[in-house]
Amino acid sequence: MIRRSTAPTLVDVAREAGVSLKTASRVLNNSSELNPATEKRVREAMARLDYRPNELARGLKARRSAAIGMIVPNLSDPFTASTLQAVLTVARARGYAVIFTSSSGDESLEKAELDLLVRRQIEGLIVAPALGKKNYFRSIVGTRLPIVAFDQFVSDKSIDCVTVNNREAARTAVEHLLTHGKKKILAVGVRPDIYTCVERVAGYCEAMAAEKLPERVLLVEDEKDLTPEAIGKFFRKKDAPDAIFSLNWVASMGTLRALRDLHGFGSMAFISFDDFELAEMLSPALTVVRQPSAEMGRIAAELLFERLTGGRTVRKNVVLSTEFHIRQSCGCS
Partner DNA sequence: ATGAAAGCGCTAACAT
Partner DNA sequence: ATGTTAGCGCTTTCAT
Binding site for DNA (CB under 7 A): 6-7, 9-11, 19-23, 25-26, 28-29, 33-35, 37-39, 53-54, 57-58, 60-62
Query: Which among 81, 56, 94 has a CA at the least distance from the CA of 304?
Result: 94
To the nearest whole angstrom, how small is the minimum distance from the Cβ of residue 82 to its own copies? Answer: 7
Distance in Å, CB of 66 to DNA, minimum: 11
Question: In the complex, what is the shortest distance from the CB of residue 158 to its own copies, in angstroms, rounded to a whole number?
Answer: 16
CB of 120 to DNA, least distance (A): 12
Rounded to whole angstroms, how far apart are CA atoms 198 and 80?
19
Q: Does 12 sit near its own copies (CB under 8 A)?
A: no
Q: How far is the CB of 127 from DNA (least distance, A)?
A: 24
115 binds, among DNA, its own copies, none (CB under 5 to 8 A by kind): its own copies
Residues near 281 by Cβ (< 8 Å), separated by ≥ 6?
A: none
Strands (E), 146-246: 147-150, 159-164, 185-190, 216-220, 243-246
Which of DNA, its own copies, none has residue 253 at its interface (CB below 5 to 8 Å by kind)?
Answer: its own copies
Q: How many residues bind to its own copies according to rule CB under 8 A?
A: 48
Q: Which of 155, 101, 163 has the alpha carbon at shortest distance from 133?
A: 155
Does 65 contact its own copies by CB under 8 A? yes
- Which option in DNA, its own copies, none does residue 116 bind, with CB closer than 5 to 8 A by kind? its own copies
Q: In sequence order, which residues have a C-beta less than 8 Å from that of residue 57 and are 6 or more positions away?
A: none
Q: What is the DSSP string of 26-80?
A: HHHTT-SS--HHHHHHHHHHHHHHT----HHHHHHHHT---EEEEEES-SSSHHH
The CB-of-95 to its own copies minimum distance in angstroms stands at 8
Q: Is 222 in the site for its own copies (CB under 8 A)?
A: no
d(CA 241, CA 234): 7
Among positions 236-275, residues that touch its own copies (CB under 8 A) are 253, 256-257, 260, 265
CB of 6 to its own copies, least distance (A): 9
CB neighbour list of residue 31: distance below 8 Å, 6 or more residues apart: none
Does 282 interact with its own copies (rule: CB under 8 A)? Answer: yes
User: Under a CB-based contact definition with an 8 Å cutoff, are residues 165 and 151 in contact?
Assistant: no
Residue 20 or residue 104: which is nearer to DNA going by CB? 20
98 binds its own copies (CB under 8 A): yes
Secondary structure letter of residue 136 according to DSSP = -
Gap between the Cα atoms of 324 and 333, Å rounded = 16
Q: Which is nearer to its own copies, 66 or 213 (CB)?
A: 66
Q: Does 97 bind its own copies (CB under 8 A)?
A: yes
Q: Which helix (H) or strand (E) holds 98?
A: strand 97-102
Task: Determine the interface stretch with its own copies among 23-31, 109-117, 167-175, 194-202 (rule: CB under 8 A).
Answer: 109-117
Which residues ranging from 66 to 95 are in contact with its own copies (CB under 8 A)?
67, 75-76, 78, 80-82, 84-85, 88, 92
Of all residues in the chain, what percent are helix, strand and coil, respectively (each to 5)? 45, 15, 40
Give CA torsion, residues 79, 84, 89, 90, to 10 deg: 100
Integer Cα distance of 53 and 268 in angstroms: 61
Strands of 185-190's sheet in order across:
216-220, 185-190, 243-246, 269-273, 287-290, 323-325
Q: Does 230 bind its own copies (CB under 8 A)?
A: no
* Interacting positions 20-59 with its own copies (CB under 8 A): 52-57, 59
| Binding footprint of its own copies on the chain (CB under 8 A) | 7, 52-57, 59-60, 65, 67, 75-76, 78, 80-82, 84-85, 88, 92, 97-102, 113, 115-121, 142, 253, 256-257, 260, 265, 276-278, 280-283
